[in-house]
């Protein structure tokens, strides 16, 4: 019980405050280490076991920096419980800092000065870290209990801003493991010669993941029963112009921006992918329609009626009809990594998987990868290696 009271007692903290404070603590530790070395060791050479703490602290500092670069408000639009997730990534950093401080203090006690056991030179730092840990744990628990908690896809503006592309709420849902996609077969007219060759050589079938909220559809290849869902498919894509990046179709689903259904009932934005050069004119004729009645309704900007339509559908269709600017209709994918670092515009209008891959290779390469939080959330591999709890990558940067 005493512990429960203690937990209640801590002062509230915000994520930016925690980030700032931890960065300062790391600087304090480095400074303290230097003072201790100067007092007890200098001019002799610093033993490697003490020296080893410097790169360890540097790694933790870099991790803090990449978390600090995330814009929490933007992150909230894309991932579940963004603030709680941030604290979930901060707590292990605190844990490692506590370990480091304990370890280095112990070295000085064991090898240089027994009295340090009582004097505890790192005590101030230790106390601060423990307090921040309590604050963040409480923060995290409060976040999860918050009655105002909302799923990110319900926070994404509906309808999306008609002048700027924005992530489709079903892309956001998918990122958070809520797959609302409809599956459909791919008509033979929609297979490229490349696709047909794949079917001839390896068998299997092509399926289409159709977004229930917008015109986005994505074709993918399935081969065996075991790997027939989009999460499991072996359909891995890469582009000869971007050897540093490979991805599965799921990555594109997560990055798709809202695409209005077109006014004449022909979704000109059909399949993505490797066929950007074959923007063929025949595709319009092969699209399955939900119903003819619906497309005629859609074509009338003043028709907002219909007994079974929800409010959001009506507004969405309104925008679909009123906004057919070329820019909007070209954007298919956005970069979530830029979006959550507060750089949404100009990173939201990739026309196909290759353009997005080129952007990833240029801006989020191995030398400057996204924060570990994003790597985990978006299931990103770095040279094939994923976070411990990610069993398979959707995007691999190599
Ligand atoms: Zn969509
Ligand atoms: Zn980016």
Residue 217 lies in a domain: yes
Q: For residue 97, what pLDDT band results from cuts at 50, 70 and 90?
A: very high
Q: Are residues 140 and 181 in the same domain?
A: no
Q: For residue 155, what pLDDT band results from cuts at 50, 70 and 90?
A: confident
The closest ligand to the CA of 369 turns out to be 2
- Helices assigned H by DSSP within 46-168: 48-51, 53-68, 72-78, 82-111, 116-119, 123-145, 152-155
The closest ligand to the CA of 356 turns out to be 2
Q: Are residues 17 and 106 in the same domain?
A: yes
- The residue-averaged pLDDT of 357-378 equals 96
Please tell me the distance between residue 219's alpha carbon and the centre of ligand 1 in angstroms. 14
The rounded radius of gyration (Å) of the Cα atoms in the chain is 26
Q: For residue 86, what pLDDT band results from cuts at 50, 70 and 90?
A: very high
Residue 1 lies in a domain: no
Q: Are residues 108 and 168 in the same domain?
A: no
Q: Are residues 169 and 143 in the same domain?
A: no
pLDDT given at position 335: 97
pLDDT given at position 342: 87
Residue 284 lies in a domain: no
Buried b (16+ CB within 10 A) or exposed e, 136-165: bebbbeebeeeeeeeebbeebebbbebeeb
Neighbours of ion ligand 2 (CB under 5 A): 335, 337-338, 347, 363
Q: For residue 391, what pLDDT band results from cuts at 50, 70 and 90?
A: very high
- The residue-averaged pLDDT of 185-193 equals 92
pLDDT given at position 160: 62
Q: Are residues 124 and 162 in the same domain?
A: no
Place of tokens 């010669």: 193
Q: Are residues 183 and 206 in the same domain?
A: yes
C-alpha span between 391 and 385 (Å, rounded): 10
Please tell me the distance between residue 346's alpha carbon and the centre of ligand 2 in angstroms. 9
Residue that terminates a domain, selected from 82, 115, 149: 149
Please tell me the distance between residue 341's alpha carbon and the centre of ligand 2 in angstroms. 9
Please tell me the distance between residue 361's alpha carbon and the centre of ligand 2 in angstroms. 9
pLDDT at 300 over 90: no
Residue that terminates a domain, selected from 116, 149, 182: 149
Please tell me the distance between residue 212's alpha carbon and the centre of ligand 1 in angstroms. 7
Please tell me the distance between residue 251's alpha carbon and the centre of ligand 1 in angstroms. 13
- The residue-averaged pLDDT of 325-342 equals 80
Residue that terminates a domain, selected from 149, 172, 194: 149
The closest ligand to the CA of 257 turns out to be 1
Q: Are residues 141 and 166 in the same domain?
A: no
Please choose, from the candidates 358, 190, 201, 156, the residue with its C-alpha nearest in 3D space to the C-alpha of residue 285.
190
What is the chain's mean pLDDT, rounded?
84
Please tell me the distance between residue 47's alpha carbon and the centre of ligand 1 in angstroms. 57
DSSP character at residue 385: B
Q: Are residues 188 and 105 in the same domain?
A: no
Angle between helices 15-40 and 82-111 (to 10 degrees): 10
Please choose, from the candidates 153, 155, 168, 264, the residue with its C-alpha nearest in 3D space to the C-alpha of residue 214.
168
Contact 353, 237 (CB under 8 A): yes
pLDDT at 161 over 50: yes
The closest ligand to the CA of 340 turns out to be 2
Please tell me the distance between residue 258's alpha carbon and the centre of ligand 1 in angstroms. 5
Which is more confidently placed, 346 or 392? 392
Please tell me the distance between residue 55's alpha carbon and the centre of ligand 2 in angstroms. 28
Residue 252 lies in a domain: yes
The closest ligand to the CA of 397 turns out to be 2
Beta bridge pairs of residue 382: 385, 397
Q: Are residues 23 and 121 in the same domain?
A: yes
Please tell me the distance between residue 389's alpha carbon and the centre of ligand 1 in angstroms. 27
pLDDT given at position 330: 80
CA distances from 88 to 93, 130, 177, 340, 375 (A): 9, 15, 18, 17, 14
Q: Are residues 90 and 233 in the same domain?
A: no
Please tell me the distance between residue 192's alpha carbon and the centre of ligand 2 in angstroms. 30
CB count within 10 Å of CB 338 equals 19
pLDDT at 297 over 70: no
Domains of the chain: total = 2
pTM greater than 0.85: no
pLDDT given at position 9: 84
Residue 250 lies in a domain: yes
Which residue range(s) make up the domain with 39? Answer: 9-149
C-alpha span between 45 and 346 (Å, rounded): 52
Q: Are residues 67 and 180 in the same domain?
A: no
pLDDT given at position 73: 93
pLDDT in tens, 219-260: 999 999 999 889 889 899 999 999 999 999 999 999 999 998
Residue 50 lies in a domain: yes
Residue 282 lies in a domain: no
Q: Are residues 22 and 120 in the same domain?
A: yes
pLDDT at 172 over 70: yes
pLDDT given at position 8: 63
Residue 16 lies in a domain: yes
């Amino acid at each position: 019980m005493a512990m429960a009271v203690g937990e209640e007692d801590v002062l509230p903290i915000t994520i930016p405050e925690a980030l700032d404070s931890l960065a300062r603590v790391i600087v304090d530790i480095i400074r303290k280490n230097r003072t201790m070395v100067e007092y007890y060791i200098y001019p002799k050479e610093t033993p490697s076991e003490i020296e080893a703490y410097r790169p360890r602290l540097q790694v933790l500092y870099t991790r803090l920096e990449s978390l600090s670069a995330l814009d929490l408000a933007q992150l909230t639009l894309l991932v579940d419980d963004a603030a709680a997730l941030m604290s979930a990534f901060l707590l292990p950093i605190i844990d490692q800092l506590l370990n480091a401080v304990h370890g280095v203090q112990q070295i000085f006690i064991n090898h240089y000065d027994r009295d340090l056991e009582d004097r505890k030179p790192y005590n101030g730092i230790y106390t601060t870290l423990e307090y921040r840990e309590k604050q963040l744990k409480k923060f995290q628990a409060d976040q999860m209990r918050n009655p105002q908690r909302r799923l990110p896809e319900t926070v994404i503006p509906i309808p999306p801003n008609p002048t700027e592309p924005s992530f489709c709420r079903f892309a956001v849902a998918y990122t958070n493991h809520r797959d609302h996609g409809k599956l459909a077969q791919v008509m033979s007219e929609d297979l490229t010669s490349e696709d047909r060759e794949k079917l001839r050589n390896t068998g299997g079938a092509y399926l289409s993941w159709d977004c229930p909220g917008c015109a986005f559809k994505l074709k993918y290849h399935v081969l065996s029963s075991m790997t027939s869902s989009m999460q499991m498919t072996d359909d891995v894509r890469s582009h000869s112009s971007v050897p540093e990046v490979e991805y599965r179709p799921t990555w594109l689903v997560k990055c798709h921006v809202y695409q209005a259904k077109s006014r004449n009932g022909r979704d000109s934005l059909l399949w993505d992918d490797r066929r950007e050069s074959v923007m063929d004119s025949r595709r319009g004729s092969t699209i399955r329609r939900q119903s003819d009645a619906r497309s005629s309704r859609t074509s009338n900007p003043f028709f907002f009626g219909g007994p079974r339509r929800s409010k959001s559908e009506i507004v969405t269709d309104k925008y679909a009809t009123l906004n057919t600017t070329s820019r909007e209709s070209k954007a298919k994918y956005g970069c979530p990594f830029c979006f959550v670092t507060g750089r949404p515009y100009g990173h939201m209008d990739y026309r196909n998987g290759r353009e997005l891959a080129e952007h990833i290779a240029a801006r989020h390469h191995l030398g400057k990868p996204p924060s570990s939080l994003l790597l985990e959330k978006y299931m990103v591999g770095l040279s094939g290696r994923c976070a411990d709890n990610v069993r398979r990558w959707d995007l691999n940067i190599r």
